[in-house]
Structure formats: C-alpha cells, structure tokens
A and B are shown apart, each in its own frame.
Chain A
Amino acid sequence: MTTTIANPNQRFETSANRVVGAGIVLAICIFLLVFVVNTAMVQEMLGYTRQITARVPTFFIRMALLLTAVAAGLFMITGHSYYKRNKLAVTPWLFLAVGLAFFMVYVIVPIFQSISYSFTKWNGLYDINGVWTGKWVGLHNYRILLDDPNFWTSLKNNLIWLVLYMLAVPIGLFIALFLNQTVTGIRIYKSLFFFPFVISQVVVGLIFAWAYNPEFGLLSEVWGWFFCEMRENIVGNLTRVCSVDPPSILGDSKKATYGIIAAGLWPQIAYCMILYLTGLNNVSADQIEAGRLDGAKGWKLLWHVVLPQLKPATFIAIVVTVIGALRSFDMIATMTQGGPFGSTNVLAFYMYEQAVGEGVGRYGYGSAIATVLFLIMLVYISYFLWRMYQDEKEGN
C-alpha cells in the first residue's frame, strides 16, 4: 500500500517486460503465419500422407496463431505508458479497431477496387502465375453503358421500384392505425399482419411466382372461373380452354416489374406497419385529448397532431424502404432472373449478371454499372446525412 503512494506515477509507466515479451510473441506469430505454416508443413509435422487431410489441422493452427497474435498485440499496447495515460481516449478505438479493419478490407477497399476495374476490360481471371489478365480501356465501358438499352431499362426499373415501393409507408401507416386499438385478440391480428416480414424474401418471391403462374397459379385459377372451361383434347385428356388467356404477369415485359414490386411490397408494408405501431405507443394521449377539445378529428387530428409525433418512425420507414427498393436483388433473382429478356433487371441485378452470373465474366463492364449505382446511392445517402445533420442542429 505504501509503495503505491510513494510512487503514484508508476502506474503510468511502460511495463517494459510486458511490452517486449508480448512484442516477441507477436513477431513470432506473424513470422509463423506468413512464412512457416502451410499445408505441406502440417502434413510433414503431423505425419499425414496427404495434402487434403492436412487442411483441417492447418486451419486450426492458423486460427490459433492469429488469435494469439491479436492477444499479444493488445497486451503490448496496454502495457505501454502512452496507453496507460490516455486510457479513456484510446480504449474506444481499440474496441473499434477490429470492426474498422474489417470495414476497410471488405467495404472501403473494394469500392475503390471496383471503381478502378470499371476502367478495364477483364474477364475475372488471373493466369496461373497470379498475373491479372485484364487490360486498361479508359472510359470505354461508360461509353458502351450509355448506348446499352438494358442499362437504361435497369435504371428505369430502379426508379419505378423507388417510387412504387414508397407506397409501403402510407399503407403501413394505415394498417398500423387500424390495428392500434384494444380488442380481444388484437395481438394475434398484429402478428398475422407482421408475418410476411418474417418470411425470407426468397420464399415470398417463390410464393408470388406460383400465384402469378398462368398455368396453375392462384390468379389463373380465379381467372378460370370466369373465362375458361374444361374440354377433352385430342388424346382424351381434360384440358383447360380459355376464351381470354389468363395474364402471364411475369412473362410479359410490361407487367413483370410491377408484379415483382407487388410481391416486394407485401413484407415491406408489414415492416412499416410495425415501425408505426411502436411509434403509436409513444404518441402522447394528452396532446390528442387537447386536440379533441379544440375540435380536431379525423384527418385533421391525424395530420396535425398524430403525424408530427410519428416523425421519427416516418423517417426510419422511408430510409428502410428506399434501401429495400435499391437492394431488390433477391426478389428479382427468384422470380424472373431479370427476364423476360432483361426487362425486369435493376442495376444491382444487371451488374451481377454481367460480372459474375453464369460465367458471363464482363467484370469491367459490371464494375462500371456498380459505379453508377454507387454514385446514385451516394447522392441519396448524402442527402439523408445532411438532413439528419440539419435536424440535429435544430434539435439543439
């Protein structure tokens, strides 16, 4: 006890042994990871006869080394006097470090990589020596893009998605208002309305694709009651003959995109509904009562008293809906794969199809599409960040 008081600065000093020790461990780990540990070495060391079976232990050894290295690194930093003196400032960054590192490696760096690929013609392959096989073509991909009808179709569909997907917000609001009452079993109704959001998008896509199917879908069954009859065909089988053919929603280039959006709206409405339901819980009863006393009711009450209080919910609903519209990828992939003849493509899917899908392998061109999509998103995101910033300022 006396020693601590005698030298109060000691706890800020570098623990030299600890830093040096951990540093050595860190160096050894990195050296082993980079230069020593490989399948052949593990094969040799553990007495395996085959490369293939040596892969699993190699993985474990590498993971163990990596974790040891991270631990040693942390040990080293926390032993240093700088850290000890600036604990409060540095610690949050230490916690963030791993996340930031991964964010850099998997998000920030690829953005710039992909932008740089957009100026090249490349089929996605490296040759046997690991040499990149593409070539630099400058703005060529962008010139082609401007002249590509599929690109314009995709861009147009992106806009249609953005506009129509927004319907989810008001519809979600009205369902929320409708469900926001105390009736026996209301929780069950709420759960049922929320249900589509729980289902995976892929499943929603499949269900709707079946419902739309002009041969055996729900829609065509209903259609059949009015326009079709069963007749015997030439070989004696019963077959359906229609005076007016049932609409082939996903097979018609003019209707297909709307068909997919309708399917996408189903879970999105549920999502907006739940956002508003939680928002409605926080609407102050006093203000509504005050509004009532002043003679407001119906639309007026909703518009002037309830909605302003739901502003945070509306903000989030709009943000998630816009994001949902822009990443409408999985619905399209399950329902039409961009077809018929590319008429339901959106930029994200067109990019995937040109670069990675089915070995088409136009990586440069795909990257150019991705860059355009990125710029569009950037405009939107900047606008919202700016809005949020303004709101924060006003809030103070």
Chain B
Amino acid sequence: MSLRFTKLALGAAMAGLFSGSLLASDLVITFDDLNPDKKAAYEAAVEAFKAANPDINVVANNGDREAHKDTIRNALQNDAPDVITWYPGNRMGPFVDAGLFTDISDLWASDENLSSNFNAIKPTMTRDGKQWGVPYSYYQWGVYYRADIYEKLGLSEPKNWEELLGNCDALKGAGVTPFTIGTQYLWTAAGVFDYLNLRTNGYEVHNDLTAGKIKYTDDRIRATFAKWEEMLDRCSFVSTHATMDWQAAISPFAKGDAAMYVMGNFSVGQYKDAGLTDEQIDFFQFPEITAGVPRAEEAPADAFFIPANAKNVENAKKFLSFIATPQIQGDWNKAIGQLPPNAAAEINADDKFIVEGMATLSTAAGLAQFYDRDAPAAMAKAGMEGFQKFMLDPSALDEILEGLDKVQAEVY
C-alpha cells in the first residue's frame, strides 16, 4: 500500500522534472569528439535533424574520443544508444563479429543517395559483404611543409624518393631538421610507416600485411624498413620525438627548426593556431618510391553505427540517411575542415588543403584507413611500439620484426 503511495508521490515529483511532448519517440546519439569545431559541427547537424523531424526527441551525447574507445564496449553490450560513432575497416571487426552492430545493408540499397554517392568509401564500410555504418567525414594524409623555407633554399615539392632525400640534404645543410614528429602516443610513426609501405610495395601488399596475410619478416616489408632507415639517416626526425605528442611536435615546425611533417589534414588548424599562415605552409603527396606502384593514400574515415541493442532503429536509420545527404555532409565537413565522403557534397573551395586533398583522394588507386584501424588493435599496439623502437634504434630491426611476427601469429 504505502509502496504504491511512495511511487505515486515520486511519480508526481518526477513528472515535473521530466515533462516532454507526449507523442514523441526517442533517438539517443553518442558522439566522441569534444574539440570545439567538431562538437559545433555535430551539434549543428543534430539541430538540423531535429528541425526536419520535430516528432523525434533527440538526446545528443558527446564525450572524449580516447575515453570512448574504452566505454563503447560497455555501451554496446548494456545500455546501448541508438546511434554511436566508431571507426570502419578492421576496427569495427570485433563488434560486427560479435553481432553488436546492426546490419544496414538494406539502408545502403534503398537510399538513393547512399547507393550512388559513396562508392569510394563503400568497401571500407563493408564486412562479410554487408554494410554496417555511414561515414560522415574523412581526410587526407600527406606531407605538410614550410613553403617559405623551401623557397628560401630554392627547393621544390619532391616527386620521388631521390628528390626527397636531396631536399633533406639541403635542409640539413641549412641547419633545419627535415622532419618533425611526436611519437609519444605511437600512432604518428604508423603514418610514416604506412606511406613508406604503400609507396614501396603498393596497396595490395600493405592491405595483406594489415590483414595478417604477410609476415613482418617478409622481404617486401624489410624493403620498406630499409627505406625508412635511409629516411632516418638522411631525412632525420627531431631528436626528442619520443617525449612529444603530435601537437607538441608542431612547435619546432612553427618555429622553423623543422620543415616537414607527415600528418593528417586535421592538423592544419593547429599550424594556424601556432601562428603560421597559408603562405608559409603547403602540402604535397608523399613522393613515389618504387616507380610504377599505383598511388594509394591514407584516408581514415569516421562513421556512425547502429548498435544491435538500439531501441529506436527506425529513427536511427532516419538519422543515418540524414547525415549522408550532400547538404549535411558538405556543411559538416566545411565546419571541421575535412572532406565529405559523399561525392556529391560541396567542399570549401577557399581552403587549398581541402581542394588538394579532394584531388589527392579522388585519384588514388586505393584508400587505406591508417595502420591502427586497418590492423586489429592488439596488432596495431605492438606494431606501433615496434615502429617507435625502430625510429630510436634502427639496429634492433630483426628483433622487432620477429617480435611482430609472434604477435601476428597470436592475434589474427
């Protein structure tokens, strides 16, 4: 009796707190980027969705990106939102295999826009012949360089390996460290490795390596490391890279102590924050190493998925369709300075890096997702530690590669 009374009293109190429209259905979204521009772009897209669907009550959550990598496991298994961000490629593999994501192949087939404008990225969103998510953004990788220093020394953008090494010699002669990098959190080194491997061996070999079909002690991979050693020798990196994160590594670049940076396009905003102008920085594609190898690029994508435990699947699909539209993809990526995976979306023609990035990616022979997304997480962790170790001590190469073979045999 009294229990019921308590419940009623509680109910009366709570009803005041949580009043909402009666006929609404829910949509809970979990996003994972608190950087001001990313957050604003996401919120703008959610607002646009709300305006287009006034009958849906949207709860938009947002959290830290690194923490999200841990919490998503719990979120998918217990208290799942209706839409959640995650990475495509092999990184979505464990969740797809455990049946924790919803198969949305029907949406890809039925939605005109999705089936016609996302061909380049579709293989990345596919596993077991089905599609699992919708990408909202991706970006190019390449070499960002100090155009003013290049000009001062009369250098030009290198087209092949020899030209790059030549540029490095000239830079070192002038007292400038050719490359900056910060390997404290390891992944930056993987960017360099990916490009060296893509240029030395091409997309197929790289993909086979990250898929576990080729050993690290394979001669082709050794050839990649030989190029890297040459790079370490002649194009040295800043000496304190192991204690810097990628943002700290911008400091020597901004000061003019280092001239090049192998990075993703998300870094451009930070160069500008560090005081560099559009005239001082420029971009070139990582130069050719083995002549005739088709040019593949790194283009990590971010995507939305529907957890298998989602309670409002129809609303979730509506949201995915919505964020795939050219309008939203264009606006979103203009706001965050990245590229829309939707080929029909508009890009910011005033941003030279975006224009060049679009040209780079649309003509690429293949798109890699970045080492730590192409390879399973356990392999990526060991691999990137190996890359860092190699950069600090190239003589340990054999030991590193044999160690990686062991991990590879274990985790695939």
Contacts and interface: CB of A to CB of B under 8 A. Distances in A.
B166 to A, nearest CB: 17
Given A51-B311, A125-B94, A215-B248, A341 B385 contact: yes
A251 B99 contact: no
A340 B381 contact: no
Interface string B121-157: 0000000000000000000000000101100110000
A361 B94 contact: yes
Interface in A227-259: 233-237, 239, 245, 248, 250-253
A341 B381 contact: no
Nearest to B242: A251
Interface in B1-50: 3, 6-7, 10-11, 14-15, 17-18, 20-24, 26, 28
A128 B152 contact: no
B378 A361 contact: yes
19 contacts: A32-B3, A48-B18, A49-B22, A50-B20, A61-B7, A123-B98, A125-B76, A233-B255, A234-B152, A235-B148, A248-B240, A248-B242, A251-B240, A339-B385, A339-B388, A340-B242, A358-B69, A360-B381, A361-B73
A126 interface: yes
Nearest to A250: B243
A56 B16 CA distance: 13
Interface string B215-258: 00000000000000000000000011111100010010001110
Given A49-B20, A360-B378, A147 B7 contact: no
Contacts of B256: 233-237, 239
Contacts of B184: 337, 339
B378 A53 contact: no
B176 interface: yes
A359 B70 contact: yes
A50 B257 CA distance: 58
B194 to A, nearest CB: 18
Contacts of B7: 45-46, 61
Interface stretch (B287-295, B298-306, B403-411): B403-411
A53 B3 CA distance: 21
B94 to A, nearest CB: 5
Interface of A: 32, 45-53, 56-57, 60-61, 64, 123-128, 133, 144, 147-149, 212-215, 233-237, 239, 245, 248, 250-253, 337, 339-342, 353-354, 356-362
Given A52-B59, A235-B149, A362-B378, A46 B242 contact: no
A361 B59 contact: no
B381 to A, nearest CB: 5
B410 A356 contact: no
A361 B94 CA distance: 9
Interface in B189-227: none
B365 interface: no
Contacts of A354: 378
A149 B403 contact: yes
Give 9 nearest A-B pairs by CB, closest first.
A251-B242, A235-B256, A46-B11, A53-B18, A341-B389, A251-B243, A341-B385, A125-B98, A128-B308
A358 B11 contact: no
Contacts of A339: 184, 186, 242, 385, 388
Given A215-B240, A340-B242, A359 B73 contact: yes
A94 B184 CA distance: 52
B274 to A, nearest CB: 12
A60 B10 CA distance: 9
Given A51-B26, A234-B256, A215 B244 contact: yes
A342 B385 contact: yes
A67 to B, nearest CB: 12
Given A251-B242, A361-B94, 9 more contacts: A51-B311, A61-B7, A128-B99, A128-B308, A215-B251, A233-B176, A234-B152, A239-B255, A251-B392
B24 A49 contact: yes
Which one of B76, B91, B149, B411 has the highest number of Cβ atoms from chain A below 10 Å of its Cβ?
B411
B377 A46 contact: no
Given A64-B6, A125-B100, A147 B406 contact: yes
Contacts of B257: 233, 237, 239
A50 B22 CA distance: 9
A18 B97 CA distance: 55
A126 B76 CA distance: 10
A215 B411 CA distance: 38
B174 A234 contact: yes
B20 A144 contact: no
A341 B28 contact: no
B18 A128 contact: no
**Of listed B22, B146, B257, residue having the most chain A CB within 10 A:** B257
A33 B160 CA distance: 70
Contacts of A32: 3
Contact of A360 (B185, B377, B392, B399): B377
Interface in B377-412: 377-378, 381, 385-386, 388-389, 392, 399, 403, 406, 410-411
B309 interface: yes
Nearest to B10: A57
Contact of A128 (B239, B309, B411): B309
A16 to B, nearest CB: 23
Interface in B34-79: 57, 59, 66, 69-70, 72-73, 76-77
A353 B6 CA distance: 47
B284 interface: no
Contacts of A149: 399, 403
A345 to B, nearest CB: 10
